[in-house]
Protein backbone atom coordinates (compact mmCIF):
# COMPACT_ATOMS: atom_id res chain seq x y z
CA UNK A 1 0.00 0.00 0.00
CA UNK A 2 1.21 3.51 -0.78
CA UNK A 3 2.38 5.34 2.36
CA UNK A 4 0.13 8.28 1.50
CA UNK A 5 -2.89 6.16 0.54
CA UNK A 6 -5.03 7.25 3.49
CA UNK A 7 -4.03 10.91 3.09
CA UNK A 8 -6.02 11.30 -0.12
CA UNK A 9 -9.55 10.26 -1.09
CA UNK A 10 -10.12 7.51 -3.63
CA UNK A 11 -11.27 10.06 -6.20
CA UNK A 12 -7.88 11.79 -6.09
CA UNK A 13 -6.02 8.49 -6.42
CA UNK A 14 -8.23 7.61 -9.38
CA UNK A 15 -7.56 10.96 -11.03
CA UNK A 16 -3.80 10.62 -10.53
CA UNK A 17 -3.73 7.11 -11.98
CA UNK A 18 -5.91 8.15 -14.91
CA UNK A 19 -3.47 10.93 -15.72
CA UNK A 20 -0.19 9.12 -15.10
CA UNK A 21 -0.66 5.44 -15.83
CA UNK A 22 1.10 5.60 -19.21
CA UNK A 23 4.14 7.23 -17.64
CA UNK A 24 4.12 4.65 -14.85
CA UNK A 25 4.00 1.83 -17.40
CA UNK A 26 7.02 3.21 -19.26
CA UNK A 27 8.93 3.93 -16.05
CA UNK A 28 8.31 0.38 -14.80
CA UNK A 29 9.40 -1.08 -18.14
CA UNK A 30 12.57 1.03 -18.17
CA UNK A 31 13.56 -0.01 -14.67
CA UNK A 32 12.82 -3.68 -15.35
CA UNK A 33 14.90 -3.63 -18.53
CA UNK A 34 17.77 -1.77 -16.87
CA UNK A 35 17.81 -4.02 -13.80
CA UNK A 36 17.74 -7.25 -15.82
CA UNK A 37 20.10 -6.31 -18.66
CA UNK A 38 22.80 -8.87 -19.36
CA UNK A 39 25.40 -6.86 -21.24
CA UNK A 40 26.58 -3.27 -21.40
CA UNK A 41 25.56 -2.02 -24.84
CA UNK A 42 26.59 1.61 -24.42
CA UNK A 43 30.00 1.04 -25.98
CA UNK A 44 28.72 -1.08 -28.88
CA UNK A 45 28.12 0.38 -32.34
CA UNK A 46 24.50 0.25 -33.41
CA UNK A 47 25.19 -2.17 -36.26
CA UNK A 48 26.70 -4.73 -33.90
CA UNK A 49 23.49 -4.97 -31.89
CA UNK A 50 21.29 -5.75 -34.88
CA UNK A 51 20.87 -9.52 -35.04
CA UNK A 52 17.91 -11.58 -36.18
CA UNK A 53 18.24 -14.01 -33.27
CA UNK A 54 18.55 -11.45 -30.49
CA UNK A 55 16.43 -12.16 -27.40
CA UNK A 56 17.78 -9.22 -25.42
CA UNK A 57 16.23 -5.79 -25.46
CA UNK A 58 18.49 -3.18 -27.02
CA UNK A 59 19.15 0.13 -25.32
CA UNK A 60 20.61 1.72 -28.44
CA UNK A 61 19.06 0.16 -31.55
CA UNK A 62 15.32 0.40 -32.15
CA UNK A 63 15.53 -2.01 -35.11
CA UNK A 64 16.57 -4.79 -32.72
CA UNK A 65 13.57 -4.03 -30.54
CA UNK A 66 11.27 -4.02 -33.56
CA UNK A 67 12.50 -7.50 -34.48
CA UNK A 68 12.07 -8.58 -30.87
CA UNK A 69 8.54 -7.18 -30.81
CA UNK A 70 7.65 -8.96 -34.04
CA UNK A 71 8.98 -12.29 -32.75
CA UNK A 72 7.05 -12.04 -29.51
CA UNK A 73 3.87 -10.87 -31.19
CA UNK A 74 4.04 -13.92 -33.44
CA UNK A 75 4.51 -16.17 -30.40
CA UNK A 76 1.63 -14.62 -28.46
CA UNK A 77 -0.82 -14.52 -31.35
CA UNK A 78 0.14 -17.91 -32.75
CA UNK A 79 0.63 -16.70 -36.31
CA UNK A 80 3.20 -14.94 -38.44
CA UNK A 81 3.09 -11.14 -38.47
CA UNK A 82 5.30 -9.56 -41.15
CA UNK A 83 8.05 -7.32 -39.87
CA UNK A 84 6.90 -4.68 -42.35
CA UNK A 85 3.52 -4.57 -40.63
CA UNK A 86 5.07 -4.23 -37.18
CA UNK A 87 7.41 -1.54 -38.47
CA UNK A 88 4.54 0.43 -39.99
CA UNK A 89 2.37 0.31 -36.88
CA UNK A 90 4.87 0.42 -34.04
CA UNK A 91 8.07 2.01 -35.33
CA UNK A 92 7.54 5.53 -33.86
CA UNK A 93 6.69 4.09 -30.45
CA UNK A 94 9.60 1.63 -30.45
CA UNK A 95 12.04 4.35 -31.48
CA UNK A 96 10.79 6.62 -28.70
CA UNK A 97 10.88 3.81 -26.15
CA UNK A 98 14.40 2.76 -27.14
CA UNK A 99 15.64 6.33 -26.73
CA UNK A 100 13.91 6.47 -23.35
CA UNK A 101 15.56 3.20 -22.31
CA UNK A 102 18.97 4.51 -23.30
CA UNK A 103 18.62 7.76 -21.38
CA UNK A 104 17.19 5.97 -18.34
CA UNK A 105 20.00 3.41 -18.25
CA UNK A 106 22.58 6.19 -18.12
CA UNK A 107 21.00 7.51 -14.91
CA UNK A 108 21.94 4.30 -13.06
CA UNK A 109 18.82 4.42 -10.90
CA UNK A 110 18.79 2.35 -7.71
CA UNK A 111 15.69 0.55 -6.49
CA UNK A 112 15.18 3.16 -3.76
CA UNK A 113 15.48 6.02 -6.26
CA UNK A 114 13.08 4.22 -8.60
CA UNK A 115 10.44 3.95 -5.87
CA UNK A 116 10.74 7.67 -5.12
CA UNK A 117 10.67 8.53 -8.82
CA UNK A 118 7.55 6.45 -9.34
CA UNK A 119 5.78 8.28 -6.52
CA UNK A 120 6.94 11.66 -7.87
CA UNK A 121 5.59 10.74 -11.30
CA UNK A 122 2.24 9.59 -9.92
CA UNK A 123 1.87 12.72 -7.79
CA UNK A 124 2.29 15.13 -10.69
CA UNK A 125 -1.23 16.52 -10.44
CA UNK A 126 -2.95 18.49 -13.17
CA UNK A 127 -6.52 19.82 -12.86
CA UNK A 128 -9.54 18.09 -14.35
CA UNK A 129 -10.21 18.94 -17.97
CA UNK A 130 -13.93 19.42 -17.37
CA UNK A 131 -15.52 22.85 -17.55
CA UNK A 132 -14.57 24.58 -14.31
CA UNK A 133 -17.64 26.82 -14.53
CA UNK A 134 -19.78 23.79 -13.73
CA UNK A 135 -18.04 23.37 -10.36
CA UNK A 136 -19.46 25.18 -7.36
CA UNK A 137 -17.32 27.22 -5.00
CA UNK A 138 -17.25 24.57 -2.28
CA UNK A 139 -16.05 21.83 -4.61
CA UNK A 140 -13.46 24.17 -6.09
CA UNK A 141 -12.08 24.87 -2.61
CA UNK A 142 -11.96 21.15 -1.82
CA UNK A 143 -10.02 20.50 -5.01
CA UNK A 144 -7.57 23.26 -4.17
CA UNK A 145 -6.93 21.69 -0.78
CA UNK A 146 -6.16 18.30 -2.32
CA UNK A 147 -3.99 19.83 -5.05
CA UNK A 148 -1.86 21.43 -2.33
CA UNK A 149 -1.81 18.19 -0.36
CA UNK A 150 -0.67 16.20 -3.39
CA UNK A 151 2.03 18.79 -4.04
CA UNK A 152 3.27 18.56 -0.44
CA UNK A 153 3.43 14.77 -0.59
CA UNK A 154 5.32 14.97 -3.88
CA UNK A 155 7.79 17.41 -2.31
CA UNK A 156 8.43 14.88 0.46
CA UNK A 157 9.39 12.24 -2.09
CA UNK A 158 11.62 14.69 -3.94
CA UNK A 159 13.37 15.42 -0.65
CA UNK A 160 13.68 11.70 0.11
CA UNK A 161 15.13 11.13 -3.36
CA UNK A 162 17.60 13.97 -2.88
CA UNK A 163 18.77 12.54 0.45
CA UNK A 164 19.15 9.06 -1.04
CA UNK A 165 21.14 10.34 -4.02
CA UNK A 166 23.43 12.35 -1.76
CA UNK A 167 24.48 9.08 -0.11
CA UNK A 168 25.69 7.63 -3.42
CA UNK A 169 28.69 9.53 -4.67
CA UNK A 170 28.81 7.97 -8.14
CA UNK A 171 25.06 7.68 -8.60
CA UNK A 172 22.56 9.80 -10.45
CA UNK A 173 22.07 13.48 -9.70
CA UNK A 174 18.67 14.91 -8.86
CA UNK A 175 18.90 17.47 -11.65
CA UNK A 176 19.58 14.70 -14.19
CA UNK A 177 16.57 12.72 -13.02
CA UNK A 178 14.23 15.72 -13.02
CA UNK A 179 15.50 16.66 -16.49
CA UNK A 180 14.66 13.13 -17.67
CA UNK A 181 11.01 13.35 -16.60
CA UNK A 182 9.89 15.47 -19.61
CA UNK A 183 11.30 12.72 -21.85
CA UNK A 184 9.13 10.24 -19.98
CA UNK A 185 6.08 12.45 -20.48
CA UNK A 186 6.84 12.83 -24.19
CA UNK A 187 7.17 9.07 -24.64
CA UNK A 188 3.91 8.51 -22.76
CA UNK A 189 2.13 10.79 -25.25
CA UNK A 190 3.38 8.60 -28.10
CA UNK A 191 2.25 5.49 -26.22
CA UNK A 192 -1.22 6.93 -25.63
CA UNK A 193 -1.54 8.02 -29.26
CA UNK A 194 -0.50 4.59 -30.56
CA UNK A 195 -2.88 2.72 -28.21
CA UNK A 196 -0.36 -0.15 -28.28
CA UNK A 197 0.06 -0.29 -24.52
CA UNK A 198 1.49 -3.82 -24.60
CA UNK A 199 4.59 -2.86 -26.61
CA UNK A 200 6.90 -1.94 -23.67
CA UNK A 201 6.00 -5.19 -21.89
CA UNK A 202 6.58 -7.39 -24.94
CA UNK A 203 9.91 -5.73 -25.69
CA UNK A 204 11.19 -6.01 -22.12
CA UNK A 205 9.92 -9.45 -21.16
CA UNK A 206 9.48 -12.64 -23.16
CA UNK A 207 5.84 -13.75 -22.76
CA UNK A 208 4.88 -17.35 -22.16
CA UNK A 209 3.30 -19.21 -25.06
CA UNK A 210 -0.49 -19.06 -24.85
CA UNK A 211 -2.11 -22.33 -25.88
CA UNK A 212 -5.74 -21.74 -24.94
CA UNK A 213 -7.85 -20.77 -27.95
CA UNK A 214 -10.16 -18.65 -25.81
CA UNK A 215 -7.27 -16.86 -24.18
CA UNK A 216 -5.61 -16.33 -27.56
CA UNK A 217 -8.77 -14.63 -28.78
CA UNK A 218 -8.61 -12.23 -25.84
CA UNK A 219 -4.97 -11.46 -26.55
CA UNK A 220 -5.67 -10.81 -30.23
CA UNK A 221 -8.33 -8.32 -29.22
CA UNK A 222 -5.86 -6.52 -26.96
CA UNK A 223 -3.15 -6.51 -29.64
CA UNK A 224 -5.07 -4.25 -32.02
CA UNK A 225 -4.22 -2.89 -34.64
CA UNK A 226 -2.31 -6.08 -35.49
CA UNK A 227 -5.61 -7.97 -35.34
CA UNK A 228 -8.90 -6.23 -36.12
CA UNK A 229 -12.28 -7.10 -34.65
CA UNK A 230 -15.72 -5.57 -35.18
CA UNK A 231 -16.01 -5.13 -31.42
CA UNK A 232 -13.05 -2.74 -31.50
CA UNK A 233 -15.16 -0.14 -33.29
CA UNK A 234 -16.36 2.63 -31.01
CA UNK A 235 -19.61 4.34 -31.87
CA UNK A 236 -20.21 8.07 -31.59
CA UNK A 237 -22.45 7.48 -28.58
CA UNK A 238 -19.71 5.49 -26.84
CA UNK A 239 -17.14 8.20 -27.55
CA UNK A 240 -19.45 10.81 -26.04
CA UNK A 241 -20.03 8.61 -23.00
CA UNK A 242 -16.29 8.04 -22.55
CA UNK A 243 -15.57 11.76 -22.83
CA UNK A 244 -18.20 12.53 -20.23
CA UNK A 245 -17.14 9.83 -17.78
CA UNK A 246 -13.47 10.78 -17.98
CA UNK A 247 -14.11 14.17 -16.40
| Res. 210: pLDDT tops 60 | no
Q: Are 120 and 142 in contact (CB under 8 A)?
A: no
| Res. 200: pLDDT tops 50 | yes
Q: d(Cα 178, Cα 174) in Å, to the nearest integer?
A: 6
Domain boundaries, the chain: 10-40+54-129+142-204
- For the chain, the first-to-last Cα distance in angstroms comes to 26
Confidence at 213, pLDDT banded by 50, 70, 90: very low
Residues 124-147: tens digit of each pLDDT: 887 655 544 455 555 566 677 888
Burial 3-15 (b: 16+ CB within 10 A, else e): ebeeebeeebeeb
Q: What is the mean pLDDT of residues 232-242?
A: 42
| Res. 16: pLDDT tops 50 | yes
pTM for this model (two decimals): 0.75
| Res. 21: pLDDT tops 90 | yes
| Res. 88: pLDDT tops 70 | yes
Amino acid sequence: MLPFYHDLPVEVHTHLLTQRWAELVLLSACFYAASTRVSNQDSLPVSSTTTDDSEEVSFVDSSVNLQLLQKRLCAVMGKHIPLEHVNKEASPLVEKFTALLHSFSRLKITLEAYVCLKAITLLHYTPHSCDETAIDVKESMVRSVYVRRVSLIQDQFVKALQIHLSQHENGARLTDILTWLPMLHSASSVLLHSKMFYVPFLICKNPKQINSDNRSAEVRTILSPFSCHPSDTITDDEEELNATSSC
